[in-house]
Structure 1
Amino acid sequence: MPDVQTAAQRISQLRSQIDAHNHRYYVLDEPSVPDAEYDRLFRELQALEAEHPQLVTAQSPTQRVGGAALAAFGEVRHEVPMLSLGNAFAEDDLLDFDRRVREGLGDLLPAADLFGGGAPVEYCCEPKLDGLAVSLLYRDGVLVRGATRGDGSTGEDISSNVRTLRNVPLQLQGEGYPAVLEVRGEVFMSKAGFEALNARQLASGGKPFANPRNAAAGSLRQLDPKITASRPLEFCCYGIGQVEGELAATQVGILQQLKGWGLPISRELKKVEGAEQCLAYYRDIGERRSSLAYEIDGVVFKVNDIGYQRELGFRAREPRWAIAHKFPASEELTELLDVEFQVGRTGAVTPVARLKPVQVAGVTVSNATLHNMDEVARLGLMIGDTVIIRRAGDVIPQVVQVVTERRPADARPVHIPEQCPVCGSAVERTQLVKRSKGRETLSEGAVYRCVGRLSCQAQLKQAIIHFVSRRALDIEGLGDKIVEQLVDVGLVASPADLFTLTYEQVVALEGFAELSTRNLLTAIDASRKPTLARFIYALGIPDVGEETAKLLARALGSLARIEQALPEVLTWLPDIGAEVAYEIHNFFADSHNRQVLRQLLERGIQLQGEGELHAEFSACTTLAAFIDKLQIPFIASTGAEKLAAQTGSLQALIELSQDWLSLSALKGLNEKARQSLRDYFANPANVAKACLVEAQLRDFGMHWQSQKQVIQGLPLAGQTWVLTGTLEAMSRDQAKQQLEALGAKVAGSVSARTHCVVAGPGAGSKLDKATELALPVLDEAAFLERLAELQANE
């Protein structure tokens, strides 16, 4: 047996050799030794580590086989969100993307020639792998964490599993890598690996996977890392997240750096100029798609210049500097066996096609969405038809066409059920209300709904599943199956009933013991103090998603105001149109919903973060805009401004409308507009409604005569800042967040009302405008110093 020092030296040599062979084999696809030689080296290392267990390290190649199984995955909060990409499905979509990029960069782009509109943008091009997005975190070159994308903000800790992937370096190669480096990429399974895995599954009596993506996702999310280690998974990086250190100034440059540190990147990586070269790359990859060793569903284009990426920034959940150009969906023929109807959370009764199973783009499809009965009518669909199935975006199966010449003689029409298939209540077609210029017109909607509401178990179950979901009240351990069980045995008939559950009731349920019962009741109790925004989202108001719920909570500040808010008042809030406003108002006007709300508060729900109306919306109305929102026929915004200037108040406007002599003398309104104003306020209902809306605006502090408020306690309250150019110490989004946290509003353009402009390298027209207006301008160093001062004084 060699002594410890000699063994340590040999172990170090073997690890270096094996890591190099792994890199050449799995990353470069250029093996330099036969498999037998590799196996010999690996066995020697295993033997030495067995003799000297004190020398085993987490970075050893022998540790990829996987450790002990986990009870569950932990959560990982992404320091930099893992955003999704916008999609292009046609060439025009990509051309529009390129146009938006060039317009967004504006003067930052160098001039092309006398007749051009600016030089073409450089793009980084890569195939879009069909796998699972993951994040790898390296500290001082050592892999310390792996995580799934999750919802973009929070993922699952899969560190033990990613360590088993042969082409993921446990220790970065070379030198010069940042102290903290988060690498993002796709875990996927090659076509050959997928076929071999399914062959093994069938041979062992297991169930085969439907497609490589499902196989990769299922393999990576195994609680037992040994199972992951046995699966033919590969990793390919496409970008970065959190970084502490210097990296190249271009997307392609960063990826080449990652390759130099031992990380695998796409062999199809290419840099091009302009949209036409992007399209040429897309067509080339499309022609070679079937010959690639792995499944792809499109191509990803990213603005190559990192500074330009920062300038373009993000919108909602996707970057403005990247897009996924999807390949056309695959299509197949099959038979429509039946149409069944599902009932959703809001009572919508949706037709679902049951199909003779067929392979579409490598996936077995037996069900497809039909959206609604209008779509069934548009298709002319009958049960028994031969239909064309497409996987839209290579993901969602849908029926796109009926092959009428193959229609059998016994084909049957599709009828919406008169009674709910779950509860037997009546099914009614929705009515669409169109509101315009003081008139409401009704038309039939495309959706049919069960009128049973929470007496319908399908709606009740879905409503409660939504209520307890992660982004709502986030009650851990209360999954779909348990919710269904609670409803089925009659313990829960509304969300409020969750907070009356007792130990004796829960422990008697199938699958529950003492510990699981106490854990569930503890989780329910811990959910009693949600933020107002989470609570509003949890209620499941139609068309009210997370962002709208956050807006309602931030703007109106209290549940009481949100409950009372009239539709006309809600439309003063940004991004809330008339239809959503009426959905919100109608939800809180419903007696059953009010009863559930009252029960929730009586049973211990304590809303956090309630307060006053947000200062941004104090005195946010004007009389002219108020008149315009009354939707009086023939009175547009210019007419509303003239009436506001003439009257100064709603009461004076009402009096003017009935004083024909004064009204006739008013300039700027034609005869039709004068008569329309007179007719509108001659109706007592219109007068009452206008006065009611004005009274609520006054109560809420939104009235034009209300006192304008500023955000108290924040040093930049009421100020408007603009960011332009490239920031190096932080991203533009991070800078925006810091300014907003200090009370500032961050705008996208410079005006006389701008308080300060932060200008990094590459600042263009915004800096010129700031100089022209003699506005304060800070470079990045001065900006960081100012931030530090403000934050220190808070």
Structure 2
Amino acid sequence: MTQAQDAAERIAALRSEIDAHNYRYYVLDEPSVPDAEYDRLFRELKALEAEHPELITPDSPTQRVSGSALAAFGTIRHEVPMLSLGNAFEEQDLLDFDRRVRDGLADELGGAGHDLFGDAVSIEYTCEPKLDGLAVSLLYEHGVLVRGATRGDGTTGEDISANVRTIRNVPLKLHGAGWPEVLEVRGEVFMSKAGFEALNARAMEVGGKTFANPRNAAAGSLRQLDSKITASRPLEFCAYGYGRVEGGSLPGTQYEILQALRVWGIPISRELKLAASVQDCRSYYQDIGARRDALAYEIDGVVFKVNRIDWQRELGFRAREPRWAIAHKFPAREELTELVNVEFQVGRTGAITPVARLKPVQVGGVTVTNATLHNMDEVARLGLMIGDTVVIRRAGDVIPQVMQVVPERRPGDAQPVRVPEHCPVCGSEVERTQLIKRGKGRESVSAGAVYRCVGRLVCQAQLKQSIIHFASRRAMEIDGLGDKIVEQLVDRGLVKSPADLYALTYDQVVQLEGFAEVSTNNLLNAIAASRAPTLARFIFALGIPDVGEETAKLLARTLGSLERVQRALPEVLTYLPDIGHEVAYEIHNFFEEEHNQDVIAQLLGNGVQIQEDGGLHPEFAAYATFPDFIDKLSIPYVAATGAKNLATHFKTVEALISADWLDLSAMKGLNERAKKAVRDYFSDTLHAERARAIEAQLREFGMHWESEKQQVEGLPLAGQTWVLTGTLEAMSRDVAKGKLEFLGAKVAGSVSAKTSCVVAGPGAGSKLAKASELGVAVLDEQAFLEQLAGYGISL
């Protein structure tokens, strides 16, 4: 046997032995050798690999730290979104969660979730502590760690692969056998209390910066561009679930899956337990709450999950959280401190928000110096004065808030809190908003809780916040346009509206502080790359009050074009799911405002090309009904049943508007007071013309009850499941997904035997291989574009 062969065998034996020791130490908590012996084995392995560098492999224990510091993190798109959990703060919240689970599983439980004697059928739950750390995803392919990512916004995270490799209890290669070919493990990276104290002690010795709490220390350590710094920090990982699974399967329960991960070398919580009922969950919560301060790490609650995976799938998700899991938070921790001052900040919409400046105090391991006061109504409710002693509450990552005043400690020189008459940023007048409530034919106006600077984009605070929002990741996604750069652009007068971003020149940008040729070109290229947003991103980027990301997606998906969204009457908007009167009027008023129209025109004139479907979504064709139309007019004394009877009797809008006393007296199902209200309502010319305008727009949009009905199931791709993989060059994957959904297809994140077709762009990897293995049809981008064109869908 040659020397090289001897070395290879010894290296393999050392790696195996060191991996076994790591497993016993980090996962089983049963170290079998002293630290000195472990160190001796590690040194021997390093020496052998130094002599034979050709034998070094990525999964070697010595390769946890390697390479130079990164310039920036890349982004990772989670094919299975990393969702957040709903919260329970009171015991009743947990009981309500259990009831909802049982109701959702009524069919599986053989009834309405109750037995013949009226007692609730028990559901088995897993119980584990909710670690106060940072959620991450670890991707293993063929048992080898290939990628690590932060949760980010749940859809897109940061590539922290180099850093997670430095975490000692993260296996670079899975143990044993039986794991799927592709396995995504999800868990929490955290820092123990002892590790946190030691880290801060070392920092103080050298005059460095200390961290406020273990969570901040863990997050800051994990996001170091230099992985050598991360390696020096006492980080740990604890798995709580999984994401992608391909080329294999996992057990059928949450508990068994976690135990399988443990066998494969992945650490899980030592406090993991099974609860046979919600009563057992309550007992677990109380027990671990009593032991909370004695644990080696910080926790802020307990997570309960339905144990059976098939029941998890049956329960599904709502919004951005699963219906089968909940985080039962511990009571917030409170402290007393002094209110030193109240300052006023100006937000993106001009809202003047009071912020409490506090005498520094430790609350739940965090030094708190500021707290939210929400608005002046809250200040009045609290009876707050500057100089007061106040109770501060902090719950997890929630912004600290002032809970109450301790009046007996109020000093004699306490000062009242007054709203400034002029904006603290631009000097414009500050006015109190009006709250308009609409109902059954009338509007009531009252004073709102918000004070607002009337300076709009003249106010640099509003302008800066508007542009920061416009450029953010979920909006136009202008990479690299951070807060500090926006401040410079606004302060120098280079940007006076979001549209000005697309008119910036090289000579203007290169003069900014911290910019040179490369950074200037990078920013200009990022701005150019954002010129073709989806309609949903564009709507969200505009910053319409009360219109978040999901509402923007809804408007884009249903109405299909910016032109239709801009012109939609508020009454028409209320036909869309989850859009009430107040939001509908906010949307309509935003697009009615001349300034906003000018900004949108400038954006389009500066080369922004919105990717939109153009047509009304088939689901909403002929969506409106005549009774709904009447009901939405909010005629006094006419409820849903009366609206239905009016529609049946009069048949058309024009007949209803022109109805006289004789016509109304002849109809049944409406009392005399309601009949008088109908006549009075349409006697007002403005009401009659408004009703005609609403009907005309419903007809124009194709939503009118007489419009042609389109069956969603009759769409070309109805019932099909498509998968997008690789990089598409003609359009983003979000745009491609929207076009497929418009044609009736469901777009999934993974390939299975039920997949109808895979669209594979450059860089396609495991999904393409899986499609080939299963014989699933595959289209390249050109073929995909041709198929879209065949359905009349263009770029």
TM-score (normalised: structure 1): 0.90
CA distance in 2, matches of 1:80, 1:448: 41
1:22-51 deviation digits (Å, cap 9, x = unpaired): 111222221111111111111111111111
> How far 1:744 sits from its partner (Å)?
6.9
Question: Does residue 329 of structure 1 match 2:329?
Answer: no
Counterpart of 2:525 in structure 1 is 522
- What are the Cα deviations for residues 413-440 of structure 1, in whole angstroms up to 9, with x where unaligned? 0001111100111111111111000100
1:175 aligns with 2:177: yes
User: CA–CA distance in 2 between the matches of 1:113 and 1:84?
Assistant: 32
Within the alignment, does 1:33 sit opposite 2:36 as a pair? no
CA distance in 1, matches of 2:154, 2:140: 19
Deviation for aligned residue 1:126? 0.3
Distance change >3 Å, CA 37–CA 712, structure 1 → 2: closer
Who is 2:43 aligned against?
43
Match of 2:672 in 1: 671
Match 1:450 to one of 449, 453, 469: 453
Q: 1:358 to 1:370 in 2, by over 3 A?
A: same
Write the distance in 2 (CA, Å) between the matches of 1:631 and 1:641: 13
What is the one-letter code of the residue matched to 1:177? W
SS of aligned partner of 2:241: strand
Preserved CA contact (<8 Å) 2:617 2:742:
no
1:652: Cα distance to partner?
0.7
Name the CA distance, whole Å, in 2 between partners of 1:172 and 1:224.
25
Give the distance between the partners of 1:457 and 1:737, measured in 2 at CA: 36
Alignment-derived partner of residue 225 in structure 2:
223
Higher mean C-alpha deviation, range 705-714 or range 229-238 = 705-714
Aligned to 1:138: 140
Change (3 A) 1:177 1:39: same
- 1:236 partnered with 2:226: no
Q: 1:2 to 1:284 in 2, by over 3 A?
A: farther
Q: Counterpart of 1:362?
A: 365
Q: Answer yes or no: is 1:52 the counterpart of 2:55.
A: no
Provide the residue aligned with 1:660 in structure 2: 661
Q: Which residue of the other structure, out of 244, 250, 253, is the alignment partner of 2:253?
A: 250
Cα offset, 1:400, TM superposition = 0.3
Task: Answer with 659-668 or 123-132: which moved more.
Answer: 659-668
Partner residue, 1:593:
596
Distance 1:573 1:221, change over 3 A: same
User: Which position in structure 1 is the counterpart of 2:693?
Assistant: 692
Q: Which residue identity does 2:430 align to in structure 1?
A: V
Q: Which of 541, 557, 578 is the aligned partner of 1:575?
A: 578
What code does the residue aligned with 1:295 have? Answer: E
- Residue aligning to 2:21: 21
How far is 1:709 from its partner? 3.2
**What is the DSSP-based 3-state SS (H/G/I as helix, E as strand, rest coil) of the residue aligned with 1:642?**
helix
**Counterpart mapping for 1:323-722 below 5 A:** 323-393=326-396, 395-656=398-659, 659-710=660-711, 714-715=715-716, 717=718
Distance in 2 (alpha carbons) for counterparts of 1:787 and 1:177: 24
Judging changes above 3 Å, is the alpha-carbon distance between structure 1 residues 445 and 228 closer, same or farther for their aligned structure 2 residues? same
User: Using the alignment, how far apart are the partners of 1:324 and 1:382 within structure 2?
Assistant: 36
Gaps of 5+ in 1: 722-735, 747-757, 759-784
Q: Is the 8 A contact 1:66 1:164 kept in 2?
A: no
- Separation in 2, partners of 1:321, 1:737: 28
The residue matched to 1:293 in structure 2 has which SS? coil
The 1-side partners of 2:356 and 2:640 are apart by: 48
| Equivalent-residue separation in structure 2 for 1:741 and 1:263 (angstroms) | 42
Q: Give the letter for the 1:221 counterpart.
A: R
Letter in structure 1 aligned against 2:547: V
Report if aligned partners of 2:130, 2:302 keep a CA contact under 8 Å in 1.
yes
Q: Which stretch shifts more, 580-589 or 500-509?
A: 500-509
2:102, 2:121 within 8 Å by CA — same for their partners in 1?
no
Compute the displacement of 1:377 (Å): 0.6
TM-score w.r.t. structure 2 length?
Answer: 0.90
- Partners of 1:475 and 1:523 within 8 A in 2: yes
Single out whichever of 12-21 and 427-436 deviates more from structure 2. Answer: 12-21
In structure 2, runs of 5+ residues without a counterpart are 722-736, 748-753, 755-773, 789-795
Alpha-carbon distance, 1:531 to partner: 1.4
Partner of 2:305: 302
Alignment-derived partner of residue 90 in structure 2: 90
CA separation of 1:6 and 1:143: change in aligned 2, threshold 3 A: same
One-letter amino acid of the structure 2 residue matched with residue 488 of structure 1: D
Q: Deviations over 1:45-104 (max 9, x none)?
A: 111111111111111111123432111111111111111000000000000000000000
Secondary structure of 2:338's partner? Answer: strand
Mark the CA change 1:140 to 1:705 in structure 2 (over 3 Å): closer, same or farther: same
Distance 2:205 2:742 in 1: 59
Tell me the SS of whatever aligns to 2:121: coil
- Which runs of 4 or more aligned residues in structure 1 lie more than 6 Å from their structure 2 counterparts after TM superposition? 736-739, 785-794
- The correspondence of residues 121-160 of structure 1 with structure 2, limited to 5 A, is 121-160=123-162
Deviation at 1:114, TM superposition (A): 3.3
Query: Which amino acid is the alignment partner of residue 36 of structure 2?
Result: A
- Given that residues 387 and 399 in structure 1 are in contact (C-alpha distance below 8 angstroms), is that contact kept between their aligned partners in structure 2? yes
Paired residue for 1:7?
7
- Equivalent-residue separation in structure 1 for 2:694 and 2:156 (angstroms): 41
Cα distance in structure 1, aligned partners of 2:517 and 2:745: 51
- Deviation digits for residues 106-148 of structure 1 (CA, Å, limit 9, x no counterpart): 1212677531456300000000000011111111111111111
2:219 is aligned with what amino acid?
A
User: Distance in 1 between the 2:398 and 2:39 partners?
Assistant: 40
Is this contact kept in 1: 2:65–2:227, CA < 8 A?
yes
Question: 2:71 maps to which residue?
Answer: 71
Paired amino acid for 1:559? L
Q: Indicate the larger mover: 247-256 or 550-559.
A: 550-559
Cα displacement (A) at 1:256: 0.4
* Aligned sequence identity (%): 74
Distance in 1, matches of 2:227 and 2:422, equals 49
CA contact (8 A) 2:499 2:599 kept: yes
Residues 75 and 394 of structure 1: CA distance in aligned 2, closer, same or farther (over 3 Å) = closer
**For the residues of structure 1 that align with 2:176 and 2:256, how far apart are their CA atoms?**
16
Checking the alignment, whether the CA contact within 8 Å between 1:334 and 1:389 is kept in structure 2 is yes
- Tell me the distance in 2 between the aligned counterparts of 1:711 and 1:543: 30
1:187 and 2:223 equivalent?
Answer: no
The alignment covers a number of residue pairs equal to: 740
Q: What does the per-residue CA deviation read over 1:513-548, in whole Å, with 9 as the maximum and x for residues that have no partner?
A: 111112211221221111111111110000111111
Give the deviation of 1:715 after TM superposition: 3.3
Confirm or deny: 8 A CA contact 1:110 1:119 kept in the other structure. no
Alignment partners' CA distance in 1, 2:7 and 2:334 = 60
Q: Does the aligned pair in 1 maintain the 2:566–2:591 contact within 8 Å?
A: yes
Per mean C-alpha deviation after superposition, the further-off stretch among 148-157 and 394-403 is 394-403
CA distance in 2, matches of 1:22, 1:380: 58
User: Secondary structure of 2:434's partner?
Assistant: strand
Residue type at the aligned position of 1:702: M
1:212 paired to 2:218:
no
Paired with 1:33 and 1:787, the residues of 2 have a C-alpha distance of: 51
- 2:728 is matched with which residue? none
Question: Aligned-pair RMSD on alpha carbons?
Answer: 2.4
Structure 1 residues 744 and 63, CA, compared in 2 at 3 Å: closer, same or farther? closer
Q: Distance in 1 between matches of 2:373 and 2:342?
A: 9
Q: Offset at 1:216? A: 0.3
CA deviation after TM superposition for structure 1 residue 619, in Å: 1.6
- Post-superposition offset of 1:395: 3.3
Q: CA deviation at 1:396?
A: 2.0
SS, match of residue 69 in structure 2: coil
For the 8 Å contact 1:329–1:394, the answer to whether it is kept is no
